Amino acid sequence: MTIREGISKGSDLVERAISFSRRFGRIEGVDPEPIIRWAVKIGGIIDKVCFSWLIWEKRKRKSLCKPCFLGVKSLVDWNFCPRKTFLDTTNESGYYMRYIDIKGNFLLIRGDLNDKERGLVKCILYFINDVADGIAAVPAMREDKGQEFMRGLKNVLGWIDKNYPSPKDFIGALLDAVRKISEFPDLTQDDFELLLKEEKKKERGGSLTDEEIKLLAEAWSENEDQERGWISEHRFAEDYPTIGLYKAWGNHVIVGVPDGIADSFIYEYKDTRSEKNLKYVVRDASLQADIYSVLLPRRKKRIHIHIAETGDMRIIEEETNPEKAKEHVDMVLKAIDEGEIPQKPSGKRCSVCSDREICDRAIAKIVREWQISEKENLTSKVTERYS
């Protein structure tokens, strides 16, 4: 989730973080309020100026009026309801952010950036990943952790001030750095393996308290099911290293983060409210793991399911099926390119769908936007939007 999305859930989150962090501020001898507000503002700039602008540039080059970056999970949601996949196309900026995160990390590991570029890439990744979570978790942090977080944030903002005294220079440099990351050649499977090897060296797990888990789940989840799933995953999922993966696919780029990547299998964790949904949950988790196995080859998948109403766990281990995954992705991307909005499903699915409140309104908006950005209008629209 981007900082902007965090804020759109209400400035409440920021206000809460500020009020709780005052105690760290006093200890540090600094006022946390300007630090947090400034950090949130920079997050917004990275998201709005860099991500939105570069996505439009990319689409313009490809003469693509449909979203370029799509999430693996939303491609799987097609099985539940194809409209759900269309709805998720509005999250393109989040998938682009993950793509930048993956390539940026690789550039840092490869080490062929000069000092200033390195600082800027680190800063971008810090704002993409750590700040939003940190601000959400501040109210639940222990004092020592809170101090550490505020100190880190203060240092990054200090680095920006020192190197970019003018906001205009800073925004220009950010845009150049994100563009440079975006245009870096696509990573190969060996590159992903290298990223995974680095990830294995890092210490994992155990860093969040139950209170932090609950607070983050509350801040980042859109509904009760998501919140339950988030908490369940943080409590019960097996601990494997993982990295973000992506693959250019026709005119699109598909992006996702498996729950775990072992040497011989892809791990997927799911939480379901009741046993009666189990068959569908297994089907979707299995397809998701198959798609990941196309992005990073693994012969096996390990599906781990927690059934909330009974507390039971199911583990399924099978061979991956990359061919089936490719067929599914080709079919969904073709439907998106054709842009025909799918029918609503029959039966009770809408009544249990987490998107039922926004579905009709959001679909109408997507159709309007896609019509506006048809090829001939795309260039003028880009200029108009960002001039």
List of residues contacting ligand SF4 (CB under 6 A): 81, 83-84, 87, 344-345, 349-350, 353, 355-356, 359
CB of 79 to ligand SF4, least distance (A): 11
Minimum CB distance to ligand SF4 smaller for 296 or for 350: 350
Residues 249, 258 contacting (CB under 8 angstroms)? no
Minimum CB distance to ligand SF4 smaller for 182 or for 221: 221
Sheet holding 312-319, edge to edge: 260-261, 265-272, 300-307, 312-319
Minimum CB distance to ligand SF4 smaller for 40 or for 287: 287
Pairing of strands 69-71, 245-249: unpaired
Alpha helices per DSSP H over the chain:
3-8, 12-28, 32-45, 53-62, 72-76, 82-88, 92-110, 115-125, 132-137, 143-163, 167-183, 189-201, 210-220, 224-236, 278-295, 322-338, 349-352, 359-372, 375-386
CB of 80 to ligand SF4, least distance (A): 7
CB of 362 to ligand SF4, least distance (A): 9
Q: Which two tokens stand for residue 229?
A: 């799933």
Residue nearest to ligand SF4 (CB): 353
CB of 280 to ligand SF4, least distance (A): 13
Minimum CB distance to ligand SF4 smaller for 109 or for 367: 367
Residues 117, 177 contacting (CB under 8 angstroms)? yes
CB of 84 to ligand SF4, least distance (A): 4
CB of 292 to ligand SF4, least distance (A): 24
Distance between CA atoms of residues 84 and 221, nearest Å: 17
Round to the nearest angstrom and report the end-to-end CA distance of the chain.
27
Q: Which two tokens stand for residue 361?
A: 């309104």
Minimum CB distance to ligand SF4 smaller for 202 or for 361: 361
Minimum CB distance to ligand SF4 smaller for 333 or for 359: 359
